[in-house]
Amino acid sequence: MRMLAIETSCDETAASVAATGPRILSSAVYSQIDRHRPYGGVVPEIASRDHLRKLPSILEQALRDADCGWGDIDALAVTRGPGLASSLLVGLSAAWGLKLRLGVPLYGVNHLEAHLLSTFLPENAPDPEEACPMLTLLVSGGHTALVRVDGPGAYRVLGRTLDDAAGEALDKGATLMGLGYPGGPAIERAARGGDPHALAFPLGRGGERSQPSGSLDPRLCFSFSGLKTSLLYRLRDDPGLARGDALKDLAASYEYAVCEALALRVERACREPSIRSLACSGGVARNRRLRARLEQIAAEAGRPVCHAPPEYCTDNAAMIAGAALSGIERDAAVRDPQDIDPVLGVE
Ligand code: ATP
Ligand code: MG
Ligand code: FE
């Protein structure tokens, strides 16, 4: 089966062709970052208009890169949420139009499940049968959760953030430091050569005293709002911290705090004896300090670690194709999605 997938949930316009396996044949991504940068964050109105403008050429690029034509496509997949409603609608409308024209089934994919399963996309990815139960740290721009993956389709959220997502903490922190948008890569760059221990930031222990809903373990929950406030006050008291070499130390210390807050909970959750491997996905998983720290935790726990490759960490359509193909394989795919309600498939 050849699947053509579309992703337009936020500010990346993406299309991908994949064969059963999943075997990714192409992954075309257009990032709108330059358009949103002047505003310091994603502007929904600009995002949806830019998706509309770019999607046709990205679809054609995905077909061209995979060396196929419209007639070779057996099925379509599209992100149905969570995301910005007006952005999702562009992808969904295009997918519906193509479905009517091509006469092939259309599958709706949960964006977060796709981030979770992106670990299994590369050709040398671990076999889920051997790697699961896997402990996956899902760290994206809008979500932060520790998920136990018992296999494709079998997820249990062990802990999540009680306020901001890790990506959001980096994006907002970078704005306060005057580093621009998006904050994750900007902080990583600014932190080079800085001392991560120059300034002590809180590691979100407030989460541990919380009473999260359902079966969440408070010791595995995250909280980043205190970290952001702490940065705000430090800069208010000493604006010089955001200049010259001091900025390097500030960025390194802030990056360290975000990574340590994540690592602390991963370390705890990975003590569960049935966990066989560790993984990390979502945009923040591109961060080198975080990757290195998780590798260290995995090595100490004697378990393998499987990071999603960087190009599949930030938004892309290959992960949407992969999740749809995985759903079809286990007869759990959502066919012909009519609604775009943001559904949290990893609840
Ligand atoms: P969600 O998937 O939760 O809806 P999203 O799709 O906007 O959110 P992603 O595309 O997965 O999020 O990731 C974007 C986030 O990743 C941003 O917050 C960005 O700052 C962060 N990010 C990207 N590269 C890096 C990096 N090298 N280090 C740290 N953070 C990074
Ligand atoms: Mg994005
Ligand atoms: Fe995402």
Domain CATH number, residue 323: 3.30.420.40
- pLDDT confidence of residue 69: 97
CA–CA distance, 144 with 128 (Å, rounded to integer) = 22
Q: Is the CB of 284 under 6 A from ligand 1?
A: yes
Boundaries of domain holding 16: 2-116+312-331
CA–CA distance, 77 with 325 (Å, rounded to integer) = 9
CA 344 to centroid of chain Cα atoms: 14
CA–CA distance, 99 with 76 (Å, rounded to integer) = 7
Q: pLDDT (tens digit, 9 = 90+) per residue, 67-86?
A: 999 999 999 999 999 999 99
In a domain, 343, yes or no: no
Q: pLDDT (tens digit, 9 = 90+) per residue, 41-69?
A: 899 999 999 999 999 999 999 999 999 99
In a domain, 81, yes or no: yes
User: What phi-psi label fits residue 40: left (phi over 0), alpha (psi between -120 and 50 degrees) or beta?
Assistant: left
Could you tell me if 104 and 253 lie in one domain?
A: no
Residue with tokens 């001392």: 195
What ligand has the least distance to the C-alpha of 184? 1
- pLDDT confidence of residue 339: 59
Nearest CA to ligand 1 atom 10: 314
Could you tell me if 49 and 84 lie in one domain?
A: yes
As a whole number, the mean pLDDT across the chain is 93
Q: Is the pLDDT of residue 210 over 90?
A: no
192 pLDDT tier (thresholds 50, 70, 90): very high
Residue 253 annotated as binding site: no
Could you tell me if 211 and 66 lie in one domain?
A: no
Could you tell me if 173 and 286 lie in one domain?
A: yes
**Count of domains observed in the chain:** 2
CA 152 to centroid of chain Cα atoms: 17
CA–CA distance, 129 with 115 (Å, rounded to integer) = 19
Q: Is the pLDDT of residue 341 over 70?
A: no
In a domain, 345, yes or no: no
Mutate to test the pocket of ligand 1, among 161, 170, 281 (most ligand atoms within 8 A of CB): 170
Could you tell me if 320 and 281 lie in one domain?
A: no
Q: Is the CB of 315 under 6 A from ligand 1?
A: yes
Residue 270 DSSP label: T
Nearest CA to ligand 1 atom 3: 142
In a domain, 157, yes or no: yes
Q: Is the CB of 7 under 6 A from ligand 1?
A: no
Q: Is the pLDDT of residue 198 over 90?
A: yes
Q: Is the CB of 183 under 6 A from ligand 1?
A: yes
- pLDDT confidence of residue 214: 75
> What ipTM goes with this model?
0.98
Please give the structure tokens belonging to residue 34. Answer: 């330059």
In a domain, 336, yes or no: no
Mean pLDDT of 318-347: 77
Q: Is the pLDDT of residue 107 over 70?
A: yes
Global confidence as pTM: 0.95
In a domain, 58, yes or no: yes
